[in-house]
Structures are given as C-alpha cells and as structure tokens.
C-alpha cells in the first residue's frame, strides 16, 4: 500500500513511528512542514524535518521530543560567551552538525529536497521524507507588545515568548510563490490513502495545505485525519494559541471544520469527543493518546482501517496488496 502523510514535528513524528510499526511493508511518503524553518548563526535549521528524521532514525531525545539524544551544548555556550543572539533557541552540538551539512549543501546549490534526502541517507527513517516546498517560506506571527505592533518569526513567538503574547495574525511568508517540492504531487497522486497525523492544525498541517496545488491534489484522495485536540485541549504544546489566532475553537469539531469537506473523508477523535460530526466525513472515536510506539501504532492502524471502511462504503476496493 502507498501511504502519504503530512507532518509537523513531535506529534507527527511519533504518529509516523507507530504507522511504520504496523505497516512495515507499505511505501510511506512524508510531506514535511518547512514553515518553522529559520536561519540562525548563518545556518539553515529545519526543526520539523529534523524531528521526523531523528525520531524515525532512532536519534531523537525521547523526553524532549526534539533534538538529539546524548546531546551537549558546548557550541551554544561559546556563542553565548561572545554575546551572539539569539540565545533562546536551543541547538546542541550534535544537532549543529546537521545544520552545517544542510547549509553547506544549500550554499552549493542543492534544493532542500535533495539535502533532506542526503541527510536521510544517514538516518534511514524508513519513509521517504520530502519538504513541502523547496522554496523558502516562513511562518511569521503578528503581535503587539512594548515594542509596538510587529511581525516576529514563528520561532520567536513560540520558543522565546512561549506564545504568551496573543497572535493577531499568523502568516506564511512566501506562500504565494512557493511550489510543491519535486515528488510531492506525484506521491499524492499515487497514494492509496493520505493521513493527517495529530500535528498542529495551523502551523504544521495548515501550512502544508497552503502550498499551491497540495490541497487540490489531496481532495481527490481518501484522507483520514487524527485529531490533535482531545477534550478541548491540545495533547501537548500550545496549538490552542494558534487556533485562537485564526478564530477557530480548540475542539476536535472545529479542527475538522477547519480542514473541511471535500478534503476530509475520515476523522479519528478521542472518546470524549465522540459527538464530532461533519457531512461527508466518517468519524470514529477511540483512545488517541500516544504513550509509546505501541499506542501510536494502534492509532495508525485505526486510521488505515477507517480508510478501508470509507473505500468499502464507496464501493471502491482498497488498492495495494496489503490494504489492511
């Protein structure tokens, strides 16, 4: 079976690890969010691509959910000793090497998709990981604070300010010109099923859906999503601050409506959100907390089963040898 999944950082990566565990023989293409990308100290950093790559490749710091395990912070301390800003973004020594390799390749003229493939040759994540676009896009957040009304990089709002200042607007700078990276639309066209893991609906999934042509390509497919909102709150992180900024309630229902029909065909919600419903969408309630690889795998299997049921109801037999 050919599966396409969109993914942000931690939630997306943990779900994908479960998906891989339950369907090892499937061909999985992951379209990664690059709206969080930022240049720091002259280096290009792609937090969500790296979180997916490290998590699936066995190099992630499990407790933190991002960054490398067995990490040290000597370079960060040395930069701080020089007074170099920003000091609020944590990059470890091992992680720095990834960003050095990436920046070197980008400076040599390679597109981000080729760089990501090269980095993945080391990590062997078991999926094909493609950035949503090779064109540079960046999520910026409009805030008002003592410095007045201004736009800051998403990472400054999220990491430095911990989303404590309300976002008045969230904008993907560069979205109008950005094209899907090579392979993205083809992978969607070839997919038997598309999964939206429990990733941030605004700044991860929402960002990917803004790239020209991606939403339209997905609408032709069977798309099943997993709600990142359980019982009216994000499972972890501050996705509620992003939803509020775009005028969407922090509920499984509101996120489903945000994605909308015809995009969505199936939606997995937690048991406490069992009343969720939208015309044209098959909703199923089940435990949605990823405690470990096993529980993430059970959620992934439920998403695949829901896709199979949707196909059966429409009278289109699921394709692929292993369409379970």
The binding site for ligand GDP (CB under 6 A) comprises 8-12, 48, 198-200, 204, 226-228, 230, 234-237, 239, 288-290
CA 114 to chain CA mean position, Å: 19
3-class secondary-structure state, position 196: strand
Give bridge partners of residue 194 from the DSSP assignment. Answer: 4, 223
Residue whose CB is less far from Ca ion, 48 or 135: 48
Residue 237 interacting partner from Ca ion, ligand GDP, none (CB closer than 5 to 8 Å by kind): ligand GDP
CB of 10 to Ca ion, least distance (A): 8
Residue 33 CB burial class (10 angstroms; 0-12, 13-18, ≥19): buried
* Alpha-carbon torsion, ordered 134, 53, 227, 310, to 10 deg: 80
Give the nearest residue (CB) to Ca ion. 9
Query: Of ligand GDP, Ca ion, none, which one does residue 131 interact with (CB within 5 to 8 Å by kind)?
Result: none
Minimum distance, C-beta of residue 30 to ligand GDP, in the bound complex (Å) = 11
The total of other beta-carbon atoms located within 10 Å of residue 179's CB is 15
Q: Of Ca ion, ligand GDP, none, which one does residue 2 interact with (CB within 5 to 8 Å by kind)?
A: none
Q: Which does 235 bind (CB under 5 to 8 A by kind): Ca ion, ligand GDP, none?
A: ligand GDP
Q: Which residues bind Ca ion (CB under 5 A)?
A: 8-9, 36, 48
Task: Characterize the bridge pairing of strands 27-32 and 2-7.
Answer: parallel
Parallel, antiparallel or unpaired: strands 193-196 and 223-226: parallel
- Nearer residue to ligand GDP within complex by CB, 21 or 235: 235
What string of DSSP letters covers 173-208? ETTTT--BPTTHHHHHHH-SEEEE-S--TTTTHHHH
Q: Which does 239 bind (CB under 5 to 8 A by kind): Ca ion, ligand GDP, none?
A: ligand GDP
10 binds, among Ca ion, ligand GDP, none (CB under 5 to 8 A by kind): ligand GDP
- Residue 270 C-beta: closest distance to ligand GDP, Å: 7
Pairwise CA distance, residues 38 & 79, whole Å:
17
Select 152 or 290, whichever has its Cβ closest to ligand GDP.
290
Pick from 51, 46, 68, 50: which is nearest to 59 by CA? 68
Q: Which is nearer to Ca ion, 8 or 92 (CB)?
A: 8
Structure tokens at 63: 């407790």
Alpha-carbon distance of 75 to 234, in angstroms, equals 33
The least CB distance from residue 8 to Ca ion, in Å, is 4
What one-character DSSP code corresponds to residue 63? T
Distance CA 12, CA 5 (A): 9
- Which does residue 1 bind out of ligand GDP, Ca ion, none, counting CB within 5 to 8 angstroms by kind? none
CB 170 within 8 A of CB 203: yes
Least Cβ distance, residue 68 to ligand GDP (angstroms): 15
Distance of closest approach, residue 295 Cβ to Ca ion, in angstroms = 22
Nearer to ligand GDP, 143 or 226 (CB): 226
Provide the minimum distance between the beta carbon of 292 and Ca ion in the complex, in angstroms, as a whole number.
22
């Amino acid at each position: 079976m050919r599966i396409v999944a969109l993914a942000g950082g931690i939630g997306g990566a943990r779900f994908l690890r479960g998906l891989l565990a339950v369907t090892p023989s499937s061909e999985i293409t992951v379209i990664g969010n690059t709206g969080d990308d930022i240049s720091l100290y002259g280096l290009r950093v792609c937090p969500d691509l790296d979180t997916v790559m490290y998590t699936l490749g066995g190099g992630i710091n499990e407790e933190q959910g991002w960054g490398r395990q067995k990490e040290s912070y000597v370079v960060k301390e040395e930069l701080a000793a020089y007074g170099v800003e920003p000091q609020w973004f944590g990059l470890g020594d091992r992680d720095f090497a990834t960003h050095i390799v990436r920046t070197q390749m980008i400076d040599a003229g390679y597109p981000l998709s080729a760089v990501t493939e090269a980095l993945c040759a080391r990590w062997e994540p078991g999926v094909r990981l493609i950035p949503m676009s090779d064109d540079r896009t960046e999520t910026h957040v409009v805030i008002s604070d003592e410095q007045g009304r201004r736009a800051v990089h998403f990472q400054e709002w999220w990491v430095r300010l911990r989303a404590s200042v309300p976002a008045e607007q969230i904008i993907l700078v560069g979205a109008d010109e950005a094209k899907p990276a090579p392979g993205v639309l083809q992978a969607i066209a070839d997919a038997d099923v598309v999964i939206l893991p429990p990733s941030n609906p605004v700044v991860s999934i929402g960002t990917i859906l803004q790239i020209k042509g991606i939403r339209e390509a997905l609408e032709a497919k069977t798309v099943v999503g997993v709600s990142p909102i359980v019982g009216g709150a994000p499972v972890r992180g501050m996705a509620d601050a992003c939803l509020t900024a775009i005028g969407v309630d922090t509920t499984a229902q509101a996120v489903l409506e945000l994605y909308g029909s015809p995009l969505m065909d199936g939606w997995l919600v937690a048991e406490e959100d069992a009343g969720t419903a939208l015309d044209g969408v098959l909703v199923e309630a089940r435990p949605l907390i990823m405690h470990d690889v096993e529980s993430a795998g059970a959620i992934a299997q439920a998403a695949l089963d829901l896709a199979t049921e949707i196909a059966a109801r429409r009278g289109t037999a699921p394709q692929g040898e292993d369409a379970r």
